[in-house]
Chain A
């Protein structure tokens, strides 16, 4: 991993909403093909950080470099071009509730490619099958369980073969078995598709299961970063109590 080039870099990122500073100089580097998990408590700014990575929010200052290109000042078509490198799995899946599962997954292909319908159908079915979602093509998102919706969200996120996939709290609110299946799908996306992943989470077990690198966001900064084993032994006063809730107090 040490020699892989950076696919994502965040440098000195600051963001305030009104008088409240949410990000206070975040620095983060994610090597190509790796999975980086950003841990942190509720309200620590994890989702705000994630939205900066794909240009949904503009920072007050700092740089967000995607595949060698600073996206902070990009707008319109230039930003859309960079966004095609991304897939994003939202906390609530954010599936279009007026479209069927098939139409949701096919949506990016229909918007951005001139592929014939049989080719689109084949690609969508292949991705759904890879993620264990067969026989749900005609269902609407409201008819699926939370775990299935997240998997459909991932299928939609990777249908265009993106270089980077962002996951916003992918296991929040899921039962342990479904959490395991979501973890497996994140690992599968990396193993089979070579995707660079950033996972925002406060689920410690899931984070240590999927991560190559774990970063801890606290008070608007990354206060600890490293491989899971290294972070587990952290003595940082914010990180240690957080991890003890999972690994025990001894």
Chain B
């Protein structure tokens, strides 16, 4: 049973201190897991079927929500920027504005968030359930390294597939923006396309892809770590999944700034 609650500056300092130590320890453990995953990913046996199953789950399975999210993000952004640019008689800049924003920021961030919600949560819950029902222990007793068997394909799938989803988001977002700008707002198709080609460079698309790889690796690493270390039955799995989702989503936004600064 928990003892009586303590209040006051000292207990606050203790809680902050303990929380900080736990955060540092958790970060260290995730980096250690990353090291294990990278080391084991180049070590046989190579379980291609497992890897392709995860690529399919994370990538192909997320195509629909990424396309829908991308299309509507592009449409909304085109609608809003059109209204703003009309005030300056600069509607011709809608295409490049949307394209640059989508490729550099919206595509990697939104794609990663969609994969976090869909595949990250499922991965964390599946691994957590395997942990609390002793399926992970069963793998170990059968002399199969659970990190190699379970985590390597899942983390690699995030690293590989999120950048591809970013490209898909780019295409859907720009197409959505084109539809609104040209067919709703009456901008000429030539202006939209020419201005976009004029401003959008391969480096912008590359920036989004790099961010997608970093986010995909991070979110799957966090989902795997939380699920793999879940304990305490169904409640523990639920708690682990909540923690994973919050940490993965926050990491995406923090890393978006960090990677953006590093790339420029």
CA distance A235 to B189 in the complex (A): 95
What 8 A-B pairs are tightest by C-beta distance, nearest first? A80-B143, A94-B138, A94-B134, A83-B143, A88-B141, A90-B134, A84-B143, A108-B142
**A120 at interface (Cβ–Cβ under 8 A)?**
no
Q: Which of B140-161 contact A (CB under 8 A)?
A: 140-145
23 pairs, A vs B, C-beta closer than 8 Å: A51-B137, A54-B140, A54-B141, A56-B137, A56-B141, A81-B143, A83-B140, A83-B142, A87-B141, A88-B137, A88-B138, A90-B137, A91-B134, A92-B133, A92-B134, A94-B134, A95-B135, A96-B135, A96-B138, A107-B142, A111-B142, A111-B144, A112-B143
* Min CB gap B153→A, angstroms: 13
**A14 at interface (Cβ–Cβ under 8 A)?**
no
Residues on B with C-beta less than 8 A from A90 are 134, 137-138
Residues on A with C-beta less than 8 A from B45 are 111
CA distance A193 to B32 in the complex (A): 42
**Apart from A51-B137, A96-B130, A97-B135: 9 A-B pairs, beta carbons within 8 A:** A54-B140, A83-B142, A87-B141, A92-B133, A107-B142, A108-B142, A111-B142, A112-B142, A112-B143
Residues on A with C-beta less than 8 A from B141 are 54, 56, 83, 86-88, 166
Q: Which residue of A lies closest to B149 (CB)?
A: A111
Q: Is the beta-carbon distance between B135 and A94 smaller than 8 angstroms?
A: yes
Residues on A with C-beta less than 8 A from B130 are 96
**Which B residues contact A (CB, under 8 angstroms)?**
45, 130, 133-135, 137-138, 140-145
* Min CB gap B129→A, angstroms: 8
Q: Which residue of A lies closest to B145 (CB)?
A: A80
* Min CB gap B37→A, angstroms: 15
CA distance A190 to B138 in the complex (A): 21
- Which of the listed residues B135, B142, B145 has the most CB atoms from chain A within 10 Å of its own CB? B142
Residues on A with C-beta less than 8 A from B138 are 88, 90, 94-96
Q: Is the beta-carbon distance between A94 and B145 smaller than 8 angstroms?
A: no
* Min CB gap B229→A, angstroms: 15
Q: Which residue of A lies closest to B138 (CB)?
A: A94
* Min CB gap A36→B, angstroms: 18
Q: Which residue of A lies closest to B53 (CB)?
A: A98
CA distance A153 to B160 in the complex (A): 36
**Which A residues contact B (CB, under 8 angstroms)?**
51, 54-56, 80-81, 83-84, 86-88, 90-92, 94-97, 107-108, 111-112, 166
CA distance A90 to B142 in the complex (A): 12
- Which of the listed residues B135, B137, B143, B145 has the most CB atoms from chain A within 10 Å of its own CB? B143
Q: Is the beta-carbon distance between A94 and B142 smaller than 8 angstroms?
A: no
Q: Which residue of B lies closest to A85 (CB)?
A: B143
Q: Which residue of B lies closest to A98 (CB)?
A: B126
Residues on A with C-beta less than 8 A from B140 are 54-56, 83
Residues on A with C-beta less than 8 A from B134 are 90-92, 94
CA distance A63 to B134 in the complex (A): 24
CA distance A161 to B97 in the complex (A): 66
CA distance A92 to B134 in the complex (A): 8
Residues on B with C-beta less than 8 A from A97 are 133, 135
Residues on B with C-beta less than 8 A from A54 are 140-141
* Min CB gap A92→B, angstroms: 6
Residues on A with C-beta less than 8 A from B137 are 51, 56, 88, 90, 94
- Which of the listed residues B134, B140, B141, B144 has the most CB atoms from chain A within 10 Å of its own CB? B141
CA distance A86 to B140 in the complex (A): 11
Q: Is the beta-carbon distance between B133 and A94 smaller than 8 angstroms?
A: yes
Residues on B with C-beta less than 8 A from A96 are 130, 135, 138
* Min CB gap B227→A, angstroms: 14
Q: Which residue of B lies closest to A96 (CB)?
A: B135
* Min CB gap B43→A, angstroms: 11
CA distance A90 to B134 in the complex (A): 8
* Min CB gap A248→B, angstroms: 35
* Min CB gap A112→B, angstroms: 7
CA distance A83 to B140 in the complex (A): 8
* Min CB gap A234→B, angstroms: 32
Residues on A with C-beta less than 8 A from B133 are 92, 94, 97
Residues on B with C-beta less than 8 A from A107 are 142
CA distance A55 to B130 in the complex (A): 19
Residues on B with C-beta less than 8 A from A87 are 141
Residues on B with C-beta less than 8 A from A95 are 135, 138
Residues on A with C-beta less than 8 A from B142 are 83, 107-108, 111-112
Residues on B with C-beta less than 8 A from A91 are 134
CA distance A1 to B47 in the complex (A): 44
